[in-house]
Homo-oligomer: A and B are copies of this chain.
Amino acid sequence: MEEIKVFCPATIANVSCGFDVLGLALDAVGDVMIVRKTAKKGIKITNIIGQDLPLATEKNVAGVAGLALLEKSDYSGGFEIEIDKRIKPGSGIGSSAASSSGAVWAMNELLGQPFSNLELVQFAMQGEKLASQVAHADNVAPAIYGGFTLVRSYNPLDIVSIPTPDELFATVIHPQIEIKTSDSRKILKTKLTLETGIRQWGNLGGLIAGLFQEDYELIGRSLEDHVVEPIRSILIPGFDDITSGAKQAGALGSGISGSGPSIFALSQGEVTAEKVAEAMHQTYKSIGIDFDIHVSKVNTQGVKPL
């Protein structure tokens, strides 16, 4: 195979109580990427449509992730990449992670899969580092593994796939304001009380158990974040109205997607997820904020060929 076209999913990181460790992949929104082998060494980004992003390899997250892979590979050639960038940068649904993950996943396919998913995550994390100064894995892990993933440990990197209940749908609304991941990390407090910590790991445990047991009520009860949401939600217009409206419309729970400003809700069944979308829509319409909205099944496959 000389060329491959892939779908690179948007992802929701943190998922309320799982700050920096939990993430899930989406099906309804993602980038499209074409990667092809070239005789010439190195990575060349030949075209980006949809967004104004740097073509220079060292300044592009897909380029940087790809270089990390090349460095560990005995492949003597290089790659060309075309990106149809459908996820808006700064939206909080893993825009940089989609490009980084898609690039390394596609290259691995073209090379006959010499690398494991864990290695691909490590390469893609270099793209995350370029985007936000922090090589976090909570978006790239679900983008590559699919479904829900837990980053149990960063050192050594240990990623655990968590099963996805069949009827779980996500609704994500993106108010048209931009928050940079690096900025939204700066406002976080560097300490928390032991009491808050206990609540957080209690909820994270409950969420993991709920996902394994397909216990939608438990998933809903566990979608609480007492560490980050109280601070970051201040940056997001109408946050409380959106989340309380989602709950009223039947959502199991909701929270900030990644570092925001997107807000996600999880629901049992597509019908409820659509009702939640309608409620979110009405809320932002009434306060006059422009937005994109997506309803999506959880994508259990991750990056996939098109």
Which A positions have Cβ atoms within 8 angstroms of B? 17-22, 150-154, 158, 160, 162, 188-194, 197-206, 208-209, 212, 218, 221-222, 227
Contact = CB atoms under 8 A, between A and B. Distances in A.
Contacts of A189: 194
A44 to B, nearest CB: 37
A201 B150 CA distance: 10
B158 A221 contact: yes
A183 to B, nearest CB: 17
Contact of A194 (B190, B194, B209): B190
8 contacts: A18-B205, A19-B201, A21-B201, A152-B206, A153-B202, A190-B193, A191-B193, A197-B201
B150 A205 contact: yes
Given A153-B221, A158-B221, A221-B153, A21 B193 contact: no
Contacts of A204: 201, 204-205
A77 to B, nearest CB: 37
**Shortest 9 CB-CB contacts between residues of A and residues of B:** A152-B206, A201-B201, A212-B212, A21-B202, A201-B204, A208-B208, A150-B205, A20-B198, A152-B202
